[in-house]
Chains A and B, each alone.
Chain A
Amino acid sequence: MTAALEVRELYMTFSGVDALSSVSLSVPQGTWMGLIGPNGSGKSTMLNVLSGLYKPRAGAVVVSGSDLGRVPARSRIKHGVCRTFQHPQLAASLTILENVMVGAVRGRGASADDETGLQWLARLGCAEYAEHLPAEVPYGVQKRAEVARALISEPSLLLLDEPAAGLSARERAELVAALREVREVLPDLTLCLVEHDVGLVASVCTELAVLSAGKLIAHGPTDEVLADDAVKLAYLGSRSTT
């Protein structure tokens, strides 16, 4: 079986500094992989390269067997790649539901109607906000609306950039519950979750990849990676894991 995501020898440079350096990894279909690392280690850069917003200096991104090197960011949704942003990117004048439905226009779920959108919002626990504007709803709802917008495009690879950043403890718990619900409904979905909160990542991801200064220093099953000495040193430092 071809991997859902395969990254080979990826390099990304900003004015001479390598934000990603020789990153290679392979993620089987249906795997939920957490991507962790200290601030500035290149996690967002990695998502930006995978979603096509940044063009890597070298290396290949292969999704479900097709090389996306020449596929512009706007066409990646057709290849089943969709993402959310660290800071929610919703159109301020569209309702939450309308924002969600934007994902269906060019996505693979072109037949999705408002009912489908509402269903996703309901699964993520925010259906009651469907008719509100983004500015009128809690931050956590904005972030989950982005997830719903990505899901309605029927992605095979979903990229989430710090979905829990800025959320309260309650909103975090709601998010975890929502993500578990997603896994139940879509067992084939491959997920790449960038997150600061290692506890949260560990509770939903079966695999972990660790970036440090642009280099991949560990990749494997969650518990093994968390036990790895190099990871503890580079990332977790003196902090405990939970």
Chain B
Amino acid sequence: MTTTVDRPTADPGSAPRRRRRLSDRAATTTGRGRVGARLATLVVACLAIFAFGQSSTPAIKYAVILSVVYAIAVLGNNAVLGLLGEMNLSSGVSMALGAYAFCYFANDGMGVVAAAVAAVALSTALAAIVAIPTTRLQGIFTALATFALAYAIPTLAIYMKEYTGGDEGTPAPFDFEIFGQLVSGSTTGMLVAALVVFAVLAAASLLMLNAAPGRAALMVGESELAGVTNGFNPRVIKVLVWTWAGFAGAVAGVLYALTVGFIGPTGFGFMLGVWILVGGVVAGARSAWGALLGGLFVGLVPVELQSYVPAEGTSIVFGVILLLALLAGGNGLAQWIERIGLLIKERTFGRKKVDA
């Protein structure tokens, strides 16, 4: 039994080491590691969406742009779901905040960029404030508070009519241009802008997942007790993750306003938060590029479904897909795609040793 004690001299730590590396299987199940390959996948996915959007009819292109906008909200929500294992049904609320604040500031005479920055800053600050009491709830029970908030938003928007335009809603800027490209509605400029914003935020969350902030959030999310005894403050970490989700939602809200051109309370019903959550679950809460799949699920699938299923019945399809995703273990489509990729790789190159 003393063999184990004799080992320090043959310490592998003394050998020069490569960077820490997860085995392919571990990388697939946790969604971590292999940052380079994942960044490349992200870029390819964004280019594919761009090509798809460009080659579609204006109506479908519009749905694709909205999907990318939803994907940004899904991405933020996935941090709450995938890192903390908590349920957030208020991503639609963050979108509403961002969108309404943006339109208010822009209509008040601010430049579009300034209005966007101000709207996102304001919404992020509000998200942080609301997160403080919300994260007092344990785990999945955050769903209750966020559901109640999501339920309140449409009527609150009607009540605050001086700022929101009440029932009638409020127009968004429609003549915003970057590099001479019109960023509005279903223009190519709008598609590119949404994709670039998505890609930047997705890359940021991918990098964070594999760095100190991601590790701290995972520690607290997966084993809160050990997080506490190792010096982390779970409340602070949770509030930060929720604030990040609020930030992403607000960014999505600004882009939503630019795309739709007009916002009103019916655009932000409580089901929006449910769709965004479900999109994340179905696509995979740990995958940055998977958030795009989640966005397409929310924005494009209902449009495509309409030729097969009456509009009233789309939620059945969504419910069934969600159930199937849960039955399959709740890891999401992105992970299954990665697994299949891994399988193909192993078939072609042979199974490598885990830590070659």
Contacts and interface: CB of A to CB of B under 8 A. Distances in A.
B21 to A, nearest CB: 7
A178 B5 contact: yes
A105 B226 CA distance: 13
Contact of B11 (A73, A95, A122, A173): A122
Contact of B29 (A75, A82, A91, A133): A133
Given A73-B228, A85-B225, A118-B12, A177 B4 contact: yes
Contacts of A118: 11-13, 17
Interface string A113-137: 0111111001111011011110010
Contacts of A122: 7-8, 11-13
B8 A170 contact: no
Contacts of A130: 12
B23 interface: yes
A132 B20 contact: no
Contact of B223 (A89, A101, A127): A89
Contacts of A101: 215
Given A105-B216, A105-B230, A132-B26, A97 B20 contact: yes
Contacts of A53: 225, 228-229
B26 A133 contact: yes
Contacts of A99: 219
A103 B223 CA distance: 13
Interface in B163-217: 212, 215-216
Interface in A65-109: 73-78, 82-83, 85, 89-95, 97-99, 101-103, 105-107
Contacts of B233: 74
A181 interface: yes
A162 interface: no
B209 to A, nearest CB: 9
A21 interface: no
Classify chain B: how many residues form its interface, as a range. 35 or more
Contact of A177 (B5, B218, B230): B5
A121 B132 CA distance: 38
B222 A178 contact: no
Given A53-B229, A114-B17, A177-B4, A91 B223 contact: yes
B33 to A, nearest CB: 9
B51 interface: no
Contacts of B229: 51-53, 73-74, 76-77, 82-83
Interface in B20-44: 20-23, 26, 29-32
A174 interface: yes
B147 interface: no
A230 to B, nearest CB: 33
B355 interface: yes
Given A118-B13, A125-B7, A132-B23, A93 B30 contact: yes
B231 interface: yes
A74 B232 contact: yes
Nearest to A170: B1
Nearest to B17: A114
B152 to A, nearest CB: 34
Nearest to A124: B4
Q: Which of B3, B13, B20, B228 has the most CB of A within 10 A?
A: B13
Contacts of A92: 30, 222-223
A108 to B, nearest CB: 10
B220 to A, nearest CB: 9
A133 B30 contact: yes
A149 interface: yes
A89 B7 contact: no
A153 interface: yes
B226 A89 contact: yes
Contacts of A133: 22, 26, 29-30
B215 A107 contact: no
A90 B11 contact: no
Nearest to A169: B1
B264 to A, nearest CB: 41
B12 A107 contact: no
B256 to A, nearest CB: 32
A114 B11 CA distance: 13
B29 A90 contact: no
B26 A94 contact: no
B231 A107 contact: yes
Given A107-B231, A178-B4, 17 more contacts: A52-B229, A53-B225, A74-B229, A76-B229, A83-B229, A91-B215, A91-B222, A95-B20, A95-B26, A97-B20, A101-B215, A102-B216, A105-B232, A116-B13, A119-B8, A125-B7, A177-B5
